[in-house]
Amino acid sequence: MIKRLGYERDIDGIQYLLQLMKLEGISCNEDLFVIVINAYRRVGLAEQALKTFYRIGEFGCKPSVKIYNHVLDALLSENKFQMITGIYNNMKRDGIELNVYTYNMLLKALCKNNRVDAARKLLAEMSYKGCIPDAVSYTTVVSSMCRLGKVEEARELSMRIKSFVPVYNALINGFCREHKMEEVFGLFNEMAVEGIDPNVITYSTVINTLSVMGNVELALAMLAKMFSRGCSPNVHTFTSLMKGYFLGGRFCEALDLWNRMIQEGSEPNIVAYNTLIHGLCSYGKMVEAVSVSQKMERNGVFPNETTYSTLIDGFAKAGNLVGASEIWNKMITNGCLPNVVVYTCMVDVLCRNSMFNHAHRLIENMANGNCPPNTITFNTFIKGLCCRGKIEWAMTVLNQMGQYGCAPNATTYNELLDGLFNAKRTREALQIVGEMEEMEIKSNLVTYNTILSGFCHAGMFKGALQIVGKMLVGGAKPDSITYNTVIYAYCTQGDVKTAIQLVDRLSNKGEGYPDVFTYTSLLWGACNWIGVDEAIVYLDKMINEGICPNRATWNALVRGLFSKLGHLGPIHIVDDILANGKVT
């Protein structure tokens, strides 16, 4: 009867029957209490399970390691760490001999609380007391060490123990997180030497990392190796590759892989569907994305918060308020409560449609409900306000963030700086920079580039170059935006020679610079400050380097030629440009 009530989660009925048994003097064995403790665990009443455990003496039952283990399991499920420690001390006091199952739960409890050093000591104690650690023991500790970034230490520990596939998987996952692929492939070789076959988890972990890193070709080679070893890919393997294709801009190949996955009988799960929907949304194919979400429902896979937030975000980026609202309403109708990501996506789409009062009310609803806004929510709102020139409102929102328990970060200030510079409110932008320094918010590359661009457009070229120096001292590595802004500044001041020297130096470094924007600034500067011949030299150089001029490049060159030479200048040069078919 108690077992049946446990399945039905009828806790009151269980307690009533236990009381009847006590009153009638019916003795109990530990199996009965294991059933009761497990019933409490299923309904999340670990403390009640512990209280019942302490009463078993009243029923003439003496605890053994078996019932102790079930109590530990119940406490562990709710991470009642302090209570777990107490139970462990009781076991030692009562002379209960711990088995491998007990130790594994204690190890898991320590690792869940990031106490890996204590877990390693417990491993040593386990061996000392003659209880040989198994694959679960070592995997628990090694995976926890990797999760905390102690991958090298985990590697050293693994070299002193018996090799298990799960341990290797934990190490490979740890090195993959750090994108240390040389070490990953070294572990593969080590497994081969020891005669240990990688499983689908091993291969899928590596394929996922390679795909995220943009190395889809190597990921495909890994898939081929997987097939050659007789290891069949699963839905996670295919999903990882599909994600890699989408990230690499290989849209058609991603869809082909999806179709192949279906043909080979791999049933898509929620992660696979969400990956496909995200890929479609990233390419603006919202009709197809919605169609996939409908299909997954028909196949018995119900959309979750990630599905809905991806669709709403896709509609937001397209500025489609109607589409986003329909998905929002469908989500609520289907009983899926929006999380902070979904709310933030809705704030974004409302801002893109200049519905700022609605966006503000939505944030207030979040605060009044069980889903308070976070810093990203406010950053989205501030960005929307700044893009529409509503700087005062954005500054007010910045000051209100603390009321909602949110602190501004570098992104918050970057959005405000961009808005202030665009509104030509340079003095206030400098005050914001000072506020960042007072709050010890470290400027990132976006911050520096925003200030640099703002200074240049305000004609503060000397200050702009000082920002570059500060940027280098701060350890931020310049990117193409930084270089292009500096080159623009030099050309605007008439110091085109210095700009040319910088472009030549960048070309020699071979880091992907210069680009079309670099040469456009240079050609404009040459036409206006040096001469047409110099501009044509760099036009030729640009084309020879495989950089295709765009409309802005040709416009800058033609305007520069006419501005410098007048309408009676060397028209044959203009004719040569027009012959390229680049100007309408």
Are the C-beta atoms of residues 196 and 167 closer than 8 Å to each other? no
What was the pLDDT predicted at 583?
Answer: 45
- Taking the CA atoms of 126, 128, 130 and 132 in sequence, report the sign of the dihedral they define: positive
pLDDT single digits (tens) 399-455: 999 998 999 999 999 999 999 999 999 999 999 989 998 888 988 999 999 999 998
Euclidean distance between CA atoms 328 and 345, whole angstroms: 10
Q: What's the pLDDT score for residue 369?
A: 78
pLDDT of 55 > 70? The answer is yes
The answer to whether 123 and 137 have CB atoms below 8 angstroms apart is yes
- Determine the pLDDT at residue 526: 85
**Mean pLDDT, rounded, for 109-132:** 87
Q: Single out the residue of 296, 423, 281, 301 nearest to residue 349, CA to CA.
A: 281
Distance in angstroms (rounded) separating the CA atoms of residues 568 and 584: 21
Cis preceding linkage at 549, omega within 30: no
pLDDT at 581: 47
Q: Are 315 and 286 in contact (CB under 8 A)?
A: yes
Angle formed at CA 337 by CA 331 and CA 340, multiple of 5 degrees: 105
Q: Is the pLDDT of residue 242 over 50?
A: yes
pLDDT of residue 42: 82
- With tokens 């506020």, the residue in question is 435
The pLDDT tens digits of the residues spanning 30-51 come to: 788 788 888 888 888 888 878 8
Which single residue is written with the structure tokens 């210069």? 514
Per residue, the 3-state secondary structure of 139-184, as one string, reads: HHHHHHHHHCCCHHHHHHHHCCCCCCHHHHHHHHHHHHHCCCHHHH
Residue 364 pLDDT > 70: yes
Give the C-alpha separation, 174 to 149, whole Å: 8
**What is the reported pLDDT for 557?**
79
**So what's the pLDDT on residue 568?**
44
Backbone angles phi, psi at 344, to 5 degrees: -65, -40
Domain ranges of the chain: 1-97, 504-584
* Angle of the 200-212 helix axis to the 235-247 helix axis, nearest 10: 10
The answer to whether the Cα torsion of 113, 118, 124, 130 is positive or negative is negative
Q: Provide the pLDDT for residue 241.
A: 93
Q: What is the pLDDT of residue 67?
A: 80
Asked if residue 382 has pLDDT above 80, the reply is yes
pLDDT-above-70 percentage for the chain:
95
For the segment 510-524, the average pLDDT, to the nearest whole number, is: 80
Indicate the pLDDT class of residue 169, thresholds 50, 70 and 90.
very high
- Per residue, the 3-state secondary structure of 370-397, as one string, reads CCCCCHHHHHHHHHHHHHCCCHHHHHHH
- Cβ(398)–Cβ(408) under 8 Å? yes
Q: How many beta carbons lie within 10 A of that of residue 75, not counting itself?
A: 25
- The reported pLDDT for the residue numbered 280 is 95
Confidence of residue 510 (pLDDT cuts 50, 70, 90): low
Tell me 546's DSSP state.
T
CA atoms within 13 A on the CB side of 179: 6
* DSSP-assigned states of every residue in 193-238: HHTPPP-HHHHHHHHHHHHHTT-HHHHHHHHHHHHHTTPPP-HHHH
Q: Minimal CA–CA distance to 466: which of 476, 458, 457, 455?
A: 455
Q: Tell me, what's the pLDDT at 584?
A: 41
Rounded to an integer, what distance in angstroms lies between the CA atom of residue 394 and that of residue 386?
Answer: 7
pLDDT band for 463, please (50, 70, 90 cuts): confident
pLDDT tier, 480 (very low <50, low <70, confident <90, very high otherwise): confident
Amino acid at 491: C
Q: Residue 174 pLDDT more than 90?
A: yes
Residue 523's pLDDT is: 86
Mean pLDDT of 225-236: 90
- The band of 582, judged by pLDDT with boundaries at 50, 70 and 90, is very low
Q: Is the pLDDT of residue 565 over 70?
A: no
Q: If we measure between CA atoms, which residue out of 82, 129, 131 comes closest to residue 110?
A: 82
Residues in the chain: 584
488-502: average pLDDT: 86
Share of the chain above pLDDT 90, in %: 40
Q: Which amino acid is at 127?
A: S
CA-to-CA distance for 384 and 391, rounded, in angstroms? 10
| Calpha distance 509→490 (Å, rounded) | 20
> What mean pLDDT, rounded, does the chain reach?
86
Chain position carrying tokens 């023991």:
137
Cβ proximity of 274 and 310 under 8 Å: yes
Distance between CA atoms of 464 and 136, rounded to whole angstroms?
58
Predicted local distance difference test score (pLDDT) of residue 567? 47
Residue 402 near residue 387 (C-beta atoms within 8 A): no
Query: Is pLDDT at 367 greater than 80 in this prediction?
Result: yes
* Confidence category of residue 285, pLDDT binned at 50, 70, 90: very high
Amino acid at 76: L
Establish how many alpha carbons lie within 13 A of residue 223's alpha carbon, considering only the half-sphere containing its beta carbon: 22
Structure tokens at 281: 């949304």
Residue 561 has pLDDT above 90, yes or no: no
Q: What is the pLDDT of residue 69?
A: 83
Looking at residue 266, what is its pLDDT?
A: 84
**pLDDT value of position 512:** 56
Q: For 341-348, what is the mean pLDDT?
A: 93
Positive or negative, the CA dihedral 241, 242, 246, 249 is: positive
- Judged by average pLDDT, the poorest of 60-74, 283-297, 340-354, 428-442 is 60-74
Question: Quick one: which of 524, 507, 516 has its CA closest to 549?
Answer: 516
Q: 576 pLDDT band (50/70/90 cuts)?
A: low
